[in-house]
Amino acid sequence: MIALNKKAFITLGLTSLVVFGAVASMPQEQEKKMNLKVLPKKFTHQQVETVMRQWTKALGVRCNFCHERGNEAADTKPEKLMARKMFEMTAKINKKYFEAGKDSLGMVMNTGISCITCHHGTAHPEGGTHTEGGEKK
Ligand code: HEC
Ligand code: HEC
């Protein structure tokens, strides 16, 4: 029991070290060009991370739901590609039906809807009353 707690402590300690390391190395990372196809290309690493944290929360997932661990620039996971489509869809709806403007960085503002409007903390917001009409499959 005690040994287990100790292990957990060490893991926690290491995790915070890694997080601190990431924060400390951010200014250099900003110089590196990111593989951005839907987010504004001017986004800094920090601004990307802010959006990422919102998506993670909206879908109730972790970063690795869309990303290969340690290689966020790779376009290998279908979930990441789907997220791009979702982003475009959300921006289009906001622009067209909510007359949302763009912010100073060129991102369509979430004046109307955002990921969480549909997802509500789950990756699979499908379903609804018609499909669940008490029929057994
Ligand atoms: C729902 C899917 C999804 C989740 C969850 C997600 N990301 Fe992303 N991430 C993306 C997409 C899509 C892009 C590319 C955006 C674009 O093309 O403009 C991206 C891009 C990035 C980039 C830029 C990488 C580069 O160099 O091109 C970083 C860094 C990143 N994500 C980090 C994170 C972190 C950290 C988390 C967890 C807090 C996270 N992501 C969670 C979908 C996701
Ligand atoms: C208008 C409602 C709506 C909005 C807004 C929306 N989504 Fe979705 N999203 C869905 C639905 C419905 C599905 C399920 C589609 C399916 O399973 O075929 C889905 C599926 C996904 C998936 C695939 C999940 C998987 O398991 O493969 C990802 C990733 C995703 N959405 C990301 C996002 C992100 C990121 C945003 C915000 C930028 C967003 N969605 C905004 C309705 C929405």
Length of the chain: 137
CA–CA gap between residue 78 and residue 108 (Å, rounded): 24
Pocket of ligand 2 (CB under 6 A): 55, 59, 79, 82-83, 86-87, 90, 113, 115, 117-119, 123-126
List all residues 6 or more positions away from 87 whose beta carbon is below 8 Å from its beta carbon.
38, 39
Which numbered atom of ligand 2 lies nearest the CA of 55? 35
pLDDT of residue 72: 97
For CA atoms 83, 84, 85, 88, the dihedral sign is positive
Residue nearest to atom 22 of ligand 1 (CA): 72
Amino acid in the structure at residue 71: N
Placement of tokens 């620039």 in the chain: 73
C-alpha distances in Å from residue 4, one per residue of 1, 7, 16: 5, 5, 19
Nearest to 111 by CA among 93, 124, 127, 125: 93
Residue ranges covered by each domain of the chain: 1-32, 33-119
Ligand nearest, relative to CA of residue 94: 2
Each of the 137 residues of the chain gets a pLDDT tens digit; together they read 555 566 665 566 555 555 555 555 555 554 579 999 999 999 999 999 999 999 999 999 999 999 999 999 999 999 999 999 999 999 999 999 999 999 998 899 988 999 999 999 999 997 655 544 444 44
The Å distance, Cα 52 to ligand 1 centre, comes to 6
Determine if the pTM surpasses 0.85: no
CA–CA gap between residue 18 and residue 15 (Å, rounded): 5
Ligand nearest, relative to CA of residue 66: 1
